[in-house]
Amino acid sequence: MMNGEYDNEMTGVLFPNDYRTTDAHPTHTGNCQINGKEWRMAAWRNSNEKRQWLNIKFTEPITKEGEPSKSQTAPATQGASDPF
């Protein structure tokens, strides 16, 4: 790498999820970069009598406002009315 730049491609990091309140919430969360695109990672720690492992799910990142990124939102259904 030139000029002290760091290549984040195909790397990521997981941290313990301090906001976990139920078993449905991941035990670890983090981010990674794959093919130049940022991804959110959620991992659940599992075990049995012989082993321990992580199940990992990759999703598009959530914006700072808590809303999914534009590419993650579902398209509006034409002609549908909002009952609320």
Q: How high is the pLDDT of residue 8?
A: 85
Q: How high is the pLDDT of residue 5?
A: 76
33 in Cβ contact with 12 (< 8 Å) = yes
Whole-model pTM: value is: 0.67
Cα separation, 13 vs 29, whole angstroms = 8
Residue 20 DSSP label: -
Residues found in the chain:
84
Looking at residue 41, its amino acid is: M
Q: How high is the pLDDT of residue 73?
A: 41
77 in Cβ contact with 67 (< 8 Å) = no
Dihedral of alpha carbons 69, 72, 74, 76, sign: positive
Q: With a cut of 50, list the residues of the chain below it in pLDDT.
A: 1, 71-84
